[in-house]
Amino acid sequence: MTISMYQASVPRFVNILGNLSNILDKAQAHIDTRKLDDATLTTYRLFPDMLPMAKQVQIACDAAKGVVARLAGVEIPVHEDNEKTLAELKARIAKTIVFVQSVTPEQIDGTEDKDIVIKRGDKETHYKGMQFLLGHAIPNFYFHVTTTYNILRHNGIEIGKRDYIGNP
């Protein structure tokens, strides 16, 4: 049995983003119980040269919507990266899930050899579709979701592996 480009992307992103949203619910409960400011968590970094928690969520969402859009050949939705609260981050996750789910298997399957060019400043990186999905986008997505999880866990949010994995 083979796995399609769609199966390797959309359902996985939707599942983990949903789990991330649920984890943010637990973080919100923690903040509410202790009467803390959201910024206690959203601006927290594991190390000074790492991005804060809010940026980790933004990048995870960007990775998911970016790869799906590029593979499907549709425009990537733009978000302003201005979320400061857990509720705003949850709203971003929800928008990302809606977009990712709007793309059909027919739009993504068969894109294994599609040329993908990523531009950062004046540098271009060239990929084929499968290489981009499996070698860049998925690892990048999971890195930022995991970093978010680690920041929250480090700050005492009672979450565990089951919260992260959910019910795939």
What gap in Å lies between CA 132 and CA 139, rounded to an integer? 10
What gap in Å lies between CA 27 and CA 47, rounded to an integer? 20
CA angle 64, 165, 53 (to 5 degrees): 55
CATH superfamily of 20-165: dinb family like domain (1.20.120.450)
What gap in Å lies between CA 157 and CA 150, rounded to an integer? 10
pTM of the model as a whole: 0.96
All structural domains of the chain with their residue ranges: 20-165
E strand map for 89-163: 115-120, 123-128
What gap in Å lies between CA 35 and CA 6, rounded to an integer? 42
Please report, as a single letter, which amino acid is at residue 83.
Answer: E
pLDDT tens-digit readout, 48-107: 999 999 999 999 999 999 999 999 999 999 999 999 999 999 999 999 999 999 999 999
What gap in Å lies between CA 44 and CA 67, rounded to an integer? 27
Checking if the pLDDT of 29 tops 70, the result is yes
